[in-house]
Amino acid sequence: LAIHAVHAQSNESTAEAKKMQWWKDAKFGMFIHWGVYSALAGTYEGKKIPGIGEWIMNTAKIPIDKYKPYAKQFNPVKYNPEAWVKMAKNAGVKYIVITSKHHDGFALFDSKVTDWDVVDASPYGKDLLKPLVAACRKEGIRIGFYYSQAQDWNHPGGAAINGHWDPAQDGDMDTYLDNIAVPQVREILSNYGNIDILWWDTPKDMTKARAEKFMPILKQHPNLITNNRLGGKFQGDTETPEQFVPSTGFPGRNWETCMTMNDTWGYKSYDSNWKSSKTLIRNLTEIVSKGGNFLLNVGPTAEGEIPKASITRLAAMGKWLHVNKEAIYGTTASPFPYLSYGRCTRKGQKLYLHVFDYPANDLLGVPMANKIRKAYLLADPSKPLLVTINKANQHSVIHLPKKIPDTINTVVAVEFEGDLKIIPSP
């Protein structure tokens, strides 16, 4: 019954629902932005360039012949994909999406259609995707490739969007798509076994005819999950709010918020505006309570190291998830439109109350008419919490411990009987 209800809500066909199930249960992914821009690290010719680091070529209007030599400084000798994947797994991450090629056109894989890739242009000289895919498979982590199809500032015809700044970028966009983007997408979908996600970016200037160039390849991968950024009105499987938590989610659509931990996707040596672990844990909770996934970014250095600040935050998320995983993975959205103290997630006859603002009197009101069989902290499941009824509004009242168990997010599990009956607020 519950499964049918989910299908009906989201207007999905059975095949689509089946394809999306692992993704819906996964909730938490790690984005990796990595490329030649990581070597510039936010600075060009001694000047700190404002904005997101992976855009530095565009923002600083760096000509191609000045940008390309930086590939010699992209030499990730410290790259340890097994360690990255284990770190992500310990953080509670279920899938990883890496920039196979960002807007600067630099491929992290061995592409046969260009020399502008890690094998031909960087001293490292080896495909970076292959060992990451292997490590993910070994650890049971799903793998996705980000691919910038509509912007490629280092191949002629690929810089149509947002103008171009170097005559060497002149060219026809369709020729670029036919000669670079389409064959490269075929490469990344063919050379690494089954890939779980293809993350397009961005739809601008992608007419229907241009987007359709990719269709023959996509049709060969029916289980591939794609986002809504191909363009040409192709909706893909997922909505992609960027850098924000949507107020209500996207009813009837799968969705995923992608977000940075500081103010850049690609590594910038001097960006230290890190979000706190508390903010990140609460973002994950809030997104999941609205039915979405959280794709949280790391930007490794050109040497191949994930910044310490990112590792610390991921570890804190993993620590919290270790205790509270049951309230995140495989859950559905909150049935309550609003809870003054926090958020809610659900799994069948169980609600998980995520307490952000601990009630001053330690009493947690639950606006539902159902009998509660059992309530307890996920951190201490063997100790049942007292449940009473508020005579005035018939809400159930859970008696919490006086001392706040977790100031970031204390999760209370509530097992209830019968069909959920919410008491609307007056």
Rule CB under 6 A: which of 346-365 touch ligand H79? none
Work out how close the CB of 181 gets to ligand H79 at its nearest, in angstroms, rounded to a whole number.
Answer: 16
CA pair distance 51, 271, nearest whole angstrom: 10
φ/ψ of residue 21, rounded to 5: -60, -45
CB 290 within 8 A of CB 333: yes
Stretch of residues binding ligand H79 (CB under 6 A), selected from 48-56, 133-141, 346-354, 361-369:
48-56
Which of 189, 258 has the CB closer to ligand H79? 258
CA pair distance 218, 185, nearest whole angstrom: 9
258 in contact with ligand H79 (CB under 6 A): yes
Work out how close the CB of 99 gets to ligand H79 at its nearest, in angstroms, rounded to a whole number.
Answer: 7
Work out how close the CB of 31 gets to ligand H79 at its nearest, in angstroms, rounded to a whole number.
Answer: 7
CB 76 within 8 A of CB 302: yes
Work out how close the CB of 362 gets to ligand H79 at its nearest, in angstroms, rounded to a whole number.
Answer: 42
DSSP labels for 191-226? BTB--SEEEE---TT--HHHHHTTHHHHHT-TT-EE
Which of 32, 385 has the CB closer to ligand H79? 32
Work out how close the CB of 359 gets to ligand H79 at its nearest, in angstroms, rounded to a whole number.
Answer: 38
279 in contact with ligand H79 (CB under 6 A): no
Which of 97, 327 has the CB closer to ligand H79? 97
Which of 202, 396 has the CB closer to ligand H79? 202
Among 27, 42, 49, 54, the residue binding ligand H79 under the rule CB under 6 A is 54
CA pair distance 388, 262, nearest whole angstrom: 44
CB 46 within 8 A of CB 113: no
Work out how close the CB of 195 gets to ligand H79 at its nearest, in angstroms, rounded to a whole number.
Answer: 18
For the window 182-221, what string marks contact with ligand H79 as x by the rule CB under 6 A?
-------------------xx-------------------
CA pair distance 404, 410, nearest whole angstrom: 8
Sheet holding 372-377, edge to edge: 342-347, 350-355, 410-416, 372-377, 380-384
Rule CB under 6 A: which of 127-166 touch ligand H79? 162
Stretch of residues binding ligand H79 (CB under 6 A), selected from 55-63, 152-160, 347-355, 372-380:
55-63
52 in contact with ligand H79 (CB under 6 A): yes
Among 265, 267, 294, 358, the residue binding ligand H79 under the rule CB under 6 A is 265
CA pair distance 123, 322, nearest whole angstrom: 40
Which of 274, 376 has the CB closer to ligand H79? 274
- β-strand partners of 355: 342, 410
227 in contact with ligand H79 (CB under 6 A): no
Work out how close the CB of 210 gets to ligand H79 at its nearest, in angstroms, rounded to a whole number.
Answer: 18
Which residues are within 8 A (CB) of 121 and not within 5 positions of it... i.e. 6 or more apart?
68, 71, 72, 106, 115
Among 10, 16, 43, 51, the residue binding ligand H79 under the rule CB under 6 A is 51
Which residues are within 8 A (CB) of 26 and not within 5 positions of it... i.e. 6 or more apart?
94, 95, 142, 293, 329
CB 331 within 8 A of CB 288: yes
Residue with tokens 């700190």: 48
Work out how close the CB of 265 gets to ligand H79 at its nearest, in angstroms, rounded to a whole number.
Answer: 4
Which of 148, 410 has the CB closer to ligand H79? 148
What does the CA dihedral 323, 326, 327, 331 come to, rounded to 10 degrees? 160
* C-alpha pair distances (Å), 95 with each of 31, 46, 221, 297, 368: 9, 37, 18, 12, 35
φ/ψ of residue 317, rounded to 5: -65, -40
Rule CB under 6 A: which of 99-118 touch ligand H79? none
412 in contact with ligand H79 (CB under 6 A): no
Residue with tokens 């979908």: 189
Rule CB under 6 A: which of 17-46 touch ligand H79? 33
Q: Which amino acid is at 109?
A: F
Stretch of residues binding ligand H79 (CB under 6 A), selected from 53-61, 164-172, 322-330, 415-423:
53-61
Work out how close the CB of 423 gets to ligand H79 at its nearest, in angstroms, rounded to a whole number.
Answer: 41
Work out how close the CB of 102 gets to ligand H79 at its nearest, in angstroms, rounded to a whole number.
Answer: 6
Rule CB under 6 A: which of 57-76 touch ligand H79? 58-59
Q: Interface residues with ligand H79 (CB under 6 A)? A: 33, 51-52, 54-55, 58-59, 162, 201-202, 242, 258, 265
